[in-house]
Amino acid sequence: MVDGGDAARWLHLNAPRGGPDELSLLVSRAAPAIGATDMVIYLADYTQSSLVPLLGAGSSGAELTIDSTLAGRAFTSLEVQRAPEDPDRLWVPLLLGCERLGVLEIVSPSAGDPAQDRPAWEVAVAVAQVLVNRRLYGDVVERIRRRLPMQVAAETVWGLLPPLTFATDDLVITAILEPCYDVGGDIFDYALNGDVLSVGLFDTCGHGIKASAMASLVVSAYRNARRTGLDLVDTAISIDRWVRSEHRGLFATALLAELDRRTGLLRIINAGHPGAMLLRDGKAVRALPGPTALPLGLGNLSPRRPRVHEEALHPGDRVLAYTDGITDARGADGERFGLDRLVDFVERALNDRLPSPETMRRLVRAVLVYQQEQLDDDATALILEWQPPHLPLGHLEHLTASDGGTTLR
């Protein structure tokens, strides 16, 4: 069996010697180490509708649609894909942890042999790590992923966002944000510190650069309060004061949450936000309580401190949070997408056992199609899963890659 370790080590040793523009050549040069004739990186574009090749100067290649190609199936299923009619080619997901970056195309005379899966995974993991480490030193990756010009408001927000997906053995958090190229008001953040996962989802007033400036302030104030060690209530109060100080008369709705990964205790402040749904065993059980505080920036209108709602999650529970751009999207007949349609979509996705990142991707695609690809407002959705390790394996809904033990959601 071919060992992918040599190619992975070669990539890690040689990557620091070149810039981001040389990544495609570097990866291609590593191909012979696993008996391949070529390897090509395909990156998911910002809308997660296409896979775009990262090619060297003078090379050419077509982008591939995610919903209708084998490469796209590798991206959505998190599994190696090959076609009997094309035995010299296989597609491997490019993952950093559980964040989907794209896929790796491997061209090899032995691509049809399942024994190739393990070295293919080893190389793909190394390529993903090198890609993430080197992309910050240039703009080639950002340019490749953009199929349209990105507005400054969107540039601001995307520059602040954490990875769209993060997972541990007992937690998964994944989110999606549309429209990708002209967002402004929606933003989210999360951080795992010890046994506590902190999550913030915000929807600021207005659109465009002013909204993105407020979003920048809100998420920075959130991080500052969290890193200072403030509790949930004082975090909300701190953000509220910053909004009033710098954007008087404006406000942001928010969901601020903390999940204790040991016990499943979820604590939430809903500051004028649309709400969140509790999902259990593939069904929406109930909506979590509505506003427990005024929107951030309006705290001076009430003498009451923000109230914290506590929810004891069951193993395997999910919490779906969203902004009103999801439910308020309107079809050609003027009818809202609405909460019922949102719940029905997510329930069907869960029962189809889709990975959570794929559920989010398909949800936003469904909202875009419903509104003829033209959103009137930012549409953001987020799923938080609590899956303690003592759950039966069948309940965990993990996808296990044939890479010698790496478990992938």
* 170 plus 302 within the same structural domain: yes
Residue 328 has pLDDT above 90, yes or no: no
Domain boundary among 99, 125, 145: 145
Taking residues 181-190, what's their average pLDDT?
A: 86
Mean pLDDT of the chain: 87
* 330 plus 392 within the same structural domain: yes
Instruction: Give the C-alpha separation, 82 to 92, whole Å.
Output: 9
Q: How far is CA 36 from the centre of its chain?
A: 31
According to the model, what pLDDT value does residue 60 have? 62
Instruction: Give the C-alpha separation, 198 to 200, whole Å.
Output: 7
13-55 confidence digits (pLDDT tens): 888 888 899 999 999 999 998 889 999 999 999 999 999 999 8
According to the model, what pLDDT value does residue 349 have? 83
Which position has the higher pLDDT, 7 or 193?
193
Instruction: Give the C-alpha separation, 130 to 20, whole Å.
Output: 9
Residue 310 has pLDDT above 80, yes or no: yes
* 138 plus 194 within the same structural domain: no
According to the model, what pLDDT value does residue 376 have? 67
| Residue 288 is assigned to a structural domain of this protein | yes
* 274 plus 351 within the same structural domain: yes
Residue 400 has pLDDT above 70, yes or no: no
According to the model, what pLDDT value does residue 59 have? 57
| Residue 77 is assigned to a structural domain of this protein | yes
CATH number of the domain that residue 35 is part of: 3.30.450.40
Domain boundary among 114, 145, 176: 145
Domain boundary among 110, 145, 180: 145
* 381 plus 247 within the same structural domain: yes
Spatial CA neighbour of 329 closest among 367, 291, 356: 367
Spatial CA neighbour of 255 closest among 288, 298, 226, 225: 288
Q: How confident is the model at residue 2 (pLDDT cuts 50, 70, 90)?
A: low
Segment of 129-133, 370-374, 396-400 carrying the highest mean pLDDT: 129-133
* 140 plus 183 within the same structural domain: no
Residue 353 φ then ψ, to 5°: 60, 40
111-123 confidence digits (pLDDT tens): 888 888 999 999 9
What percent of the chain is predicted at pLDDT more than 90?
Answer: 57
* 163 plus 247 within the same structural domain: yes
Spatial CA neighbour of 243 closest among 273, 210, 267, 218: 218
Counting the structural domains of the chain, the total is 2
According to the model, what pLDDT value does residue 187 have? 94
| Residue 124 is assigned to a structural domain of this protein | yes
Domain range spanning residue 75? 5-145
